[in-house]
C-alpha cells in the first residue's frame, strides 16, 4: 500500500460564486496530491471498464484499471460479466495481461494456481505433494471481486466503494447525453468492434478530463484544422461531422448550444445539429426520418446534436467514440479511444464515422496530436509554480443553477471544467476508509 500523504486540500479550489474560480497549480503537479487522488477519487467513484459488446462469449475478458489498481472483467459460463482484481490470491502476479481476449480459465503463470471464469479457485497446484499444503490450509475461495459493478445501457462501470450510490443516480444529468447518443441507433444499442487508439501524454490526468469538454479551445488549438475543414469539407472523410463550412460558420456554430456542470463532477457541452435538413435529406435520410418519427422533434434535436461529455473522473463520450483515461503518474496519462458502431445503422454510416475518426483522432490525426502537445506545454508551464493559480472564471456570471443542483452555462463557458473541480475538492476533503 502506498503511503498516505498528509496534505491540506482545503485551499486548492477557490470559488466566489458568480465571480471567480481558481485552482492551485499543485493540484496538477504535486505527487502527494496524486497519491491521495488515487484513494479518495478513483477508489470511490464509478470507473468505466468496458462495453457489453466486448464480451461476446464465455471467457471473453478485458483488463482495466481503477486508478492504478489492475482489474479484469470477464464473462463466465452462465453469461454473467464479473469484475475481479487482476492478481493471483497466492503471491500476487497478474492473471491476465492482454488488453482483451478469450480464455478457458485464469491460470497464474507463477505457481500454476487456476481460477474459473466466475473467479472461483479451481486448482491449487501440487497441493498434496511433499512440502505442500496441510489439512488446515485456508484455501482462498476465489479472486477478490470488485465490490460493485453496474451497467447503464451496456456501459459497464465498477466501483471499489461498496456504499456508492447506484450508477444510474451517479450519472445524473449525463444519462440524457448517453441516452441521446445511443438512441441514434434504431435498436438503441452501440457495439465496439474496433481496437482502440492508445495515446500517452506527458501531463496530469485532469488535463484530459478538462479538455474533452472544452468548447473554448477548439478554434485556437485546432485553428489549423478549422481552416483545413473549410478547404476540404466532406471530401476527405469528415462525413458531415463538421459540415464542411467556412471558418466563420464553424465559429458561429460553436456559440450555439449549452454547457453543463453536474454535481457529481460530470460535464458536457451540447451543440445542436448545424442543419437538420442536411441529415433528413441526405444519404441516410431514411434512418433519420425514422428516428424523428419514433422520438419526436425535441428528442430528435438531442439525438442529432453534437455532444461531448465526461463522466467523472476518467471516461468520456465524444463524436462516435468512448474514451477512457488512466493516470500513470502525476505527469503521465494514457488515453484509450474506442470508436463504436451504431447497431442497426447502415454499414456505410458506421464505416463513414470510422473514417471521420481516423481523420481527427489517434496519433496521426489532425486533432488528437495537437491536444496532447498542448498538455505537454501545460505541464511545462506549470513548473512555473511561482504563479499560484489557474483561472476557470469563464462564463461564471451567466451559468444558471438548476433544480437538480447542476449548473447550465452558455456554449463556451468553463462550466464543465468547474464540475470536475467542485467534485474533486469535495471528494479530496473527505477522508475515505483507506486514506
Partner 1 sequence: MLQDITQFIYREARLLDDRRLDDWLSLFDDDGLYIVPLVDEALPGRQAAIVNDDRMAREERVYHLVNHWFPAQQPPSRTLHFVSNVVADERDGLWSVSSSQLIHETRGGDWTQVGLGEKNAIVARVDYLLRRGDKGFRIHEKRVHLLDRAGWQGNLAFIY
Least distance to partner 1, CB of residue 110, Å: 24
Query: Does residue 172 bind partner 1 (CB under 8 A)?
Result: no
Cell of 206: 485532469
Minimum CB distance to partner 1 smaller for 144 or for 198: 198
Q: Strands across the sheet with 13-16, in order?
A: 13-16, 20-24, 389-391
Please list, in sequence order, all residues whose beta carbon lies within 8 angstroms of the beta carbon of residue 16, skipping any fewer than 6 positions away.
none
Quick note: the x/- pattern for partner 1 over 332-351, rule CB under 8 A, is: --x----x-x--------xx
Least distance to partner 1, CB of residue 434, Å: 29
Q: How many residues in the shown chain lie near partner 1 by CB under 8 A?
A: 47
Least distance to partner 1, CB of residue 216, Å: 15
Least distance to partner 1, CB of residue 203, Å: 9
Is residue 119 helix, strand or coil? coil
Least distance to partner 1, CB of residue 208, Å: 14
Report the 10 Å Cβ neighbour count for 143: 24
Cell of 92: 500476487
Query: Does residue 194 bind partner 1 (CB under 8 A)?
Result: yes
Minimum CB distance to partner 1 smaller for 25 or for 372: 372
What CA dihedral angle connects 296, 298, 303 and 309, to 10 degrees? -150
Least distance to partner 1, CB of residue 364, Å: 4
Cell of 240: 458531415
**Among 364, 385, 398, 404, which residue interacts with partner 1 (rule: CB under 8 A)?**
364
Query: Does residue 189 bind partner 1 (CB under 8 A)?
Result: no
Please list, in sequence order, all residues whose beta carbon lies within 8 angstroms of the beta carbon of residue 355, skipping any fewer than 6 positions away.
237, 239
Q: Which stretch of DSSP H or E encloses residue 232?
A: helix 223-232
Query: Does residue 193 bind partner 1 (CB under 8 A)?
Result: yes
In 321-403 the beta strands, taken as DSSP E runs, fall at 321-329, 332-339, 341-342, 389-391, 400-401
Please list, in sequence order, all residues whose beta carbon lies within 8 angstroms of the beta carbon of residue 136, skipping any fewer than 6 positions away.
none
Least distance to partner 1, CB of residue 339, Å: 5
Do 337 and 321 contact (CB within 8 A), yes or no? yes
Query: Does residue 232 bind partner 1 (CB under 8 A)?
Result: yes
**Among 70, 355, 389, 402, which residue interacts with partner 1 (rule: CB under 8 A)?**
355
**Among 156, 207, 374, 410, which residue interacts with partner 1 (rule: CB under 8 A)?**
374
Least distance to partner 1, CB of residue 193, Å: 4
Least distance to partner 1, CB of residue 38, Å: 20
Pairwise CA distance, residues 277 & 183, whole Å: 19
Cell of 188: 438503441
Report the 10 Å Cβ neighbour count for 231: 12
Query: Does residue 150 bind partner 1 (CB under 8 A)?
Result: no
Quick note: the x/- pattern for partner 1 over 379-398, rule CB under 8 A, is: xx------------------
Q: Which stretch binds partner 1 (CB under 8 A): 71-79, 168-176, 359-367, 387-395?
A: 359-367
**Among 39, 40, 266, 359, which residue interacts with partner 1 (rule: CB under 8 A)?**
359
**Among 38, 102, 230, 369, which residue interacts with partner 1 (rule: CB under 8 A)?**
369
Query: Does residue 253 bind partner 1 (CB under 8 A)?
Result: no
Long-range CB pairs of 377-382, under 8 A, 24+ apart, other chains included: 378/28, 378/203, 378/207, 379/28, 379/29, 379/202, 379/203, 379/204, 379/207, 379/331, 382/25, 382/28, 382/29
Is residue 21 helix, strand or coil? strand
What CA dihedral angle connects 128, 131, 136 and 137, to 10 degrees? -80
Least distance to partner 1, CB of residue 75, Å: 21
Quick note: the x/- pattern for partner 1 over 198-227, rule CB under 8 A, is: xxxxx------------------xxxxx-x
Q: Which stretch binds partner 1 (CB under 8 A): 134-142, 205-213, 233-241, 260-268?
A: 233-241
**Among 237, 276, 302, 344, which residue interacts with partner 1 (rule: CB under 8 A)?**
237
Query: Does residue 102 bind partner 1 (CB under 8 A)?
Result: no
Query: Does residue 187 bind partner 1 (CB under 8 A)?
Result: no
Do 261 and 401 contact (CB within 8 A), yes or no? no
Query: Does residue 354 bind partner 1 (CB under 8 A)?
Result: yes
Beta-carbon-side half-sphere exposure of residue 107 (alpha carbons within 13 Å): 7
Pairwise CA distance, residues 200 & 2, whole Å: 24
Query: Does residue 261 bind partner 1 (CB under 8 A)?
Result: no
Pairwise CA distance, residues 127 & 113, whole Å: 10
Q: Which residues contact partner 1 (rule: CB under 8 A)?
A: 99, 193-202, 221-225, 227-228, 231-232, 235-237, 334, 339, 341, 350-351, 354-355, 357-359, 362-366, 369-370, 372-374, 376-377, 379-380
Amino acid at each position: 500500500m502506498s503511503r498516505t500523504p498528509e496534505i491540506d486540500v482545503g485551499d486548492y479550489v477557490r470559488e466566489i460564486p458568480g465571480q471567480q474560480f481558481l485552482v492551485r497549480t499543485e493540484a496538477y503537479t504535486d505527487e502527494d496530491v496524486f497519491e491521495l487522488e488515487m484513494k479518495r477519487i478513483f477508489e470511490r467513484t464509478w470507473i468505466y471498464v468496458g462495453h457489453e459488446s466486448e464480451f461476446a462469449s464465455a471467457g471473453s475478458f478485458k483488463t482495466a484499471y481503477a486508478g492504478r489498481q489492475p482489474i479484469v472483467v470477464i464473462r463466465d459460463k452462465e453469461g454473467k460479466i464479473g469484475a475481479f482484481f487482476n492478481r493471483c490470491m497466492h503471491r500476487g502476479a497478474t492473471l491476465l495481461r492482454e488488453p482483451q481476449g478469450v480464455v478457458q480459465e485464469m491460470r497464474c503463470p507463477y505457481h500454476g494456481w487456476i481460477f474459473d471464469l466466475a473467479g472461483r479457485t479451481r486448482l491449487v497446484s501440487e497441493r498434496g505433494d511433499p512440502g505442500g499444503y496441510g489439512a488446515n490450509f485456508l484455501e482462498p475461495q476465489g479472486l477478490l471481486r470488485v465490490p460493485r459493478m453496474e451497467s447503464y445501457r451496456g456501459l459497464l462501470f465498477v466501483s471499489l466503494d461498496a456504499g456508492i450510490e447506484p450508477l444510474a443516480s451517479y450519472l445524473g444529468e449525463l444519462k440524457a447525453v448517453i441516452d441521446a447518443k445511443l438512441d441514434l441507433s434504431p435498436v438503441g444499442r452501440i457495439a465496439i468492434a474496433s481496437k482502440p487508439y492508445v495515446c500517452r501524454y506527458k501531463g496530469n490526468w485532469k488535463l484530459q478530463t478538462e479538455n474533452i469538454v472544452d468548447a473554448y479551445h477548439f478554434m485556437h488549438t485546432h485553428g489549423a484544422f478549422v481552416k483545413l475543414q473549410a478547404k476540404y469539407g466532406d471530401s476527405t472523410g469528415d462525413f458531415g461531422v463538421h459540415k464542411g463550412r467556412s471558418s466563420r460558420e464553424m465559429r458561429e456554430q460553436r456559440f450555439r448550444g449549452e454547457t453543463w456542470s453536474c454535481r457529481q463532477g460530470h460535464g458536457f457541452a451540447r451543440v445542436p445539429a448545424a442543419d437538420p435538413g442536411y441529415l433528413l435529406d441526405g444519404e441516410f435520410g431514411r434512418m433519420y426520418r425514422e428516428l424523428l418519427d419514433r422520438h419526436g422533434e425535441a428528442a430528435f434535436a438531442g439525438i442529432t446534436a453534437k455532444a461531448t461529455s465526461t463522466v467523472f473522473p476518467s471516461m468520456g463520450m465524444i463524436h462516435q467514440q468512448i474514451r477512457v483515461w488512466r493516470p500513470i503518474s502525476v505527469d503521465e496519462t494514457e488515453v484509450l479511444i474506442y470508436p463504436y458502431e451504431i447497431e442497426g445503422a447502415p454499414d456505410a454510416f458506421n464505416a463513414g464515422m470510422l473514417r471521420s475518426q481516423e481523420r481527427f483522432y489517434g496519433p496521426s490525426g489532425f486533432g488528437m496530436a495537437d491536444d496532447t502537445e498542448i498538455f505537454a506545454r501545460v505541464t511545462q508551464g506549470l513548473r512555473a509554480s511561482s504563479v499560484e493559480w489557474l483561472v476557470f472564471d469563464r462564463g461564471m456570471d451567466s451559468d444558471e443553477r438548476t433544480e437538480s443542483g447542476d449548473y447550465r452555462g452558455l456554449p463556451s463557458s468553463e462550466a464543465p471544467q468547474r464540475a470536475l473541480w467542485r467534485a474533486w475538492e469535495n471528494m479530496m476533503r473527505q477522508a475515505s476508509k483507506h486514506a
